[in-house]
């Protein structure tokens, strides 16, 4: 039985709510159901407002999870939903652990990050879960020739789970353009997760995450992000206006 998803609209962008995202993805995997997973946060929602192509890609994605605190607060505030945050990196980690325990034939591929980062992340996971079938990894910085090679490799290997860490919106657009290469695969945009897994960067301490302040840690680690982060107050203002002008059911 396919687990159901509830769909809500966050400023016109869909977000899917279920109590068990990893379970939903495992079902996709078992049924060879090609899936594009988007991890939605306030910043991405604001980008989608400015970028109709990104908005369309998110509309067409099979699973849009509430990755960011802003999205979760929005859902609680507008729809009175008891929604929990599902950070993309944690969903990816749970999926890898489940695959390593129960579905060890599953072929997994990492694509993205600075040179050596995807390889180091793969090395980390291979040590964590020796049964994991990591069939390949590619850095996210390369020439068009290497990109052609990558696509050929994906076509030959047919991995069933493909993590793409190129940042937003690059990874979402890339997945939408290339998912036909492995139509039965789960494709997940994982942002900077390879940086974390490879030890290049660290995640915010749990207490910051629990208080919806993970963004503050990112700002501390990467001060150059301040301009991008102006999207957060913008999102809050828009949510406030939306709350009193319309209720966003899809």
Closest distance of CB 106 from ligand UDP, Å: 23
Quick check: 192 binds ligand UDP (CB under 6 A)? yes
Helices (H), 3-65: 21-30, 42-50, 52-60
Contacts 24+ apart (CB under 8 A), 124-130: 124/197, 124/198, 124/199, 125/96, 125/197, 128/100, 129/96, 129/97, 129/100
Quick check: 69 binds ligand UDP (CB under 6 A)? no
From the list 62, 172, 195, 214, which residue makes contact with ligand UDP (rule: CB under 6 A)?
195
CB nearer ligand UDP, residue 141 or residue 240: 141
Quick check: 77 binds ligand UDP (CB under 6 A)? no
CB nearer ligand UDP, residue 154 or residue 168: 168
Which residues are CB-neighbours of 137 under 8 A, at least 6 positions away? 109, 110, 111, 118, 119, 121, 122
Near ligand UDP in 135-174, by CB under 6 A: 140-141, 165-168, 170
Closest distance of CB 71 from ligand UDP, Å: 14
Quick check: 109 binds ligand UDP (CB under 6 A)? no
Cα distance between residue 34 and residue 214, in whole Å: 31
| Stretch of 9-17, 26-34, 47-55, 111-119 contacting ligand UDP, by CB under 6 A | 111-119
From the list 68, 112, 136, 159, which residue makes contact with ligand UDP (rule: CB under 6 A)?
112
CB nearer ligand UDP, residue 26 or residue 65: 65
Near ligand UDP in 1-60, by CB under 6 A: none
Closest CA to 128 of 205, 202, 209, 198: 198
Closest CA to 250 of 24, 17, 84: 17
Q: At what angle do helices 42-50 and 231-245 cross, to 10 degrees?
A: 80
Quick check: 194 binds ligand UDP (CB under 6 A)? yes
Cα distance between residue 171 and residue 75, in whole Å: 25
Residues contributing to the site for ligand UDP (CB under 6 A): 112-114, 140-141, 165-168, 170, 191-192, 194-195
């Amino acid at each position: 039985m396919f687990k159901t998803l509830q769909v809500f609209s966050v400023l016109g962008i869909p977000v899917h709510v279920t109590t068990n995202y990893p379970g939903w993805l495992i079902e996709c995997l078992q049924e060879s159901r090609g899936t594009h997973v988007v991890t939605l946060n306030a910043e991405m929602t604001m980008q989608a407002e400015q970028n109709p192509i990104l908005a369309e890609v998110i509309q067409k994605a099979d699973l849009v999870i509430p990755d960011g605190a802003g999205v979760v607060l929005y859902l609680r505030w507008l729809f009175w939903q008891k929604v929990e945050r599902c950070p993309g990196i944690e969903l990816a980690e749970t999926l890898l652990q489940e695959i390593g325990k129960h579905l060890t034939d599953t072929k997994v591929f990492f694509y993205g990050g600075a040179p050596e980062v995807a390889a180091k992340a793969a090395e980390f996971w291979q040590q964590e879960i020796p049964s994991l079938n990591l069939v390949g990894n590619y850095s996210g910085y390369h020439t068009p020739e290497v990109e052609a090679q990558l696509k050929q490799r994906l076509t030959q290997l047919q991995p069933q789970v493909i993590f793409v860490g190129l940042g937003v919106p690059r990874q979402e657009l890339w997945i939408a353009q290339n998912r036909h290469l492995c139509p039965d695969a789960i494709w997940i945009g994982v942002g900077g997760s390879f940086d974390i897994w490879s030890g290049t960067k660290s995640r915010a301490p749990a207490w910051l995450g629990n208080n919806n302040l993970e963004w503050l840690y990112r700002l501390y680690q990467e001060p150059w992000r301040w301009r991008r982060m102006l999207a957060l107050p913008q999102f809050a203002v828009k949510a406030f206006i939306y709350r009193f002008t319309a209720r966003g059911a899809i």
